[in-house]
Amino acid sequence: MSTTFTIDTATSRATPTPAPMKRLNIPAVRARKGGEPLVMLTAYTVRMAQLLDPHCDLLLVGDSLGQVIYGLPSTVPVSLEMMCAHGAAVVRGSYHAAVVVDMPFGSYEGSKKQAFASAARIMKETGAVAVKLEGGEAMAETIAFLSARGIPVMAHVGLTPQAVNVLGGYGARGRSEAEEKKLIGDARAVAEAGCFAIVVEGVIESIADAITEAVACPTIGIGASARCDGQVLVTEDMLGLFERTPRFVKRYAAMADLVTDAAATYADEVRARRFPTADQTYRRAAAGAAPKTG
């Protein structure tokens, strides 16, 4: 059972109501290897999930919310509580896409037991169908441990933002032969461990192609290659809500300009007392007037 949406006339906002709909499941995602590309975008709120869901195969509740929602300098400070709260919101706001929730830094690296406890909490509290974790060969045993216990795992190799302090920045990976060999080895290791898909971020295009050919599960590119089995972007980047656009992002809208213009118009009307008007205020009915119906 999932959700669709009706309008709550008391609030004029969409509220979910039960409907017999099935989400895209993990076997269906795996089956897309080499087929129609998978579409994934990030979502952190109910309303954004509602808007994106009809167009996406997967919604990623990324730890990028640390920067996008909370204004943090990186993803490192993001907590498990944050991920659970936003993950639950996105599940409530969607009905078709498979929802995947990032495991934040420090919630899984310590041990396989710690990883299971964190992943189980995410699954229970959010209703998501899978978790995502960063790391290659070093995380293979953890991925196998989680997968064997009923927790689907999406892996993440290449540029791994949680490791920014070790990597020394957000530059593309794979510029040397040694790094190329490691990236392909990392992808093979996590695929053999049982992950159902791999995010390949910020790697040289030819390496992304080699990874896609080397593994049996779908690859989802971000700053990688059009020949990956799918693509993901941070939605707010794609919508043009920030001044800076990363090199690998295509802006499909200029939402920051729309918001700025709307806020400026609102401010002008408030200061000039042109808002609110009779259309936006409530008045007593004239004596003897029939009450409105409908």
- pLDDT by residue (tens digit) across 20-57? 568 999 999 999 999 999 999 999 999 999 999 999 99
- State how far the Cα of 251 lies from the Cα of 237, in Å rounded to an integer: 7
Judged against a pLDDT cut of 90, whether residue 187 lies above it is answered with yes
In a domain, 64, yes or no: yes
**Lowest mean pLDDT, pick from 83-92, 99-108, 171-180, 189-198:** 171-180
Q: What is the mean pLDDT of residues 247-256?
A: 95
In a domain, 284, yes or no: no
List the catalytic residues: 201
pLDDT of residue 189: 98
Lookup: tokens for 271:
């200061």
Number of structural domains (the chain) is: 2
* Same-domain pairing of 261 and 117: no
CA distances (Å), origin 41, targets 38, 85, 195, 254? 10, 18, 19, 17
In a domain, 285, yes or no: no
Q: How many CB atoms lie within 10 A of CB 245?
A: 12
In a domain, 289, yes or no: no
* Same-domain pairing of 123 and 37: yes
pLDDT of residue 34: 98
Which structural domain range is residue 125 located in?
2-166+177-238
* Same-domain pairing of 128 and 84: yes
For 240, the enclosing helix (H) or strand (E) is none
- Percent of the chain exceeding pLDDT 90 equals 80
- State how far the Cα of 261 lies from the Cα of 264, in Å rounded to an integer: 5
* Same-domain pairing of 262 and 135: no
In a domain, 191, yes or no: yes
In a domain, 172, yes or no: no
Judged against a pLDDT cut of 70, whether residue 254 lies above it is answered with yes
* Same-domain pairing of 224 and 266: no
DSSP E strand stretches across 136-236 = 153-158, 197-201, 219-222, 230-233
* Same-domain pairing of 99 and 10: yes
Q: Cβ neighbours of residue 43 under 8 Å, at least 6 residues apart?
A: 49, 52, 59, 60, 61, 90, 93, 94, 235
Maximum Cα interatomic distance, the chain, rounded to a whole number of Å? 86
* Same-domain pairing of 254 and 234: no
- State how far the Cα of 79 lies from the Cα of 102, in Å rounded to an integer: 11
* Same-domain pairing of 258 and 121: no
Q: Cβ neighbours of residue 225 under 8 Å, at least 6 residues apart?
A: 200, 205, 206, 208, 209, 212
Contact of 115 with 145, CB cutoff 8 Å: yes
* Same-domain pairing of 149 and 187: yes
In a domain, 282, yes or no: no
In a domain, 291, yes or no: no
142: exposed, middle or buried (C-beta count within 10 Å: 0-12, 13-18, 19+)?
buried
* Same-domain pairing of 154 and 253: no
Q: What is the mean pLDDT of residues 67-93?
A: 97
pLDDT of residue 15: 62
Judged against a pLDDT cut of 60, whether residue 290 lies above it is answered with yes
Q: What is the mean pLDDT of residues 221-231?
A: 97
pLDDT of residue 1: 37
pLDDT of residue 171: 65
Q: Cβ neighbours of residue 122 under 8 Å, at least 6 residues apart?
A: 80, 83, 84, 87, 101, 103, 128, 131
* Same-domain pairing of 216 and 255: no
Tens digit of each residue's pLDDT (9 = 90 or more) over 91-110: 999 999 999 999 999 999 99
CATH, residue 47 = 3.20.20.60
* Same-domain pairing of 47 and 139: yes
pLDDT of residue 7: 53
Average pLDDT taken over every residue of the chain:
91
pLDDT of residue 87: 98
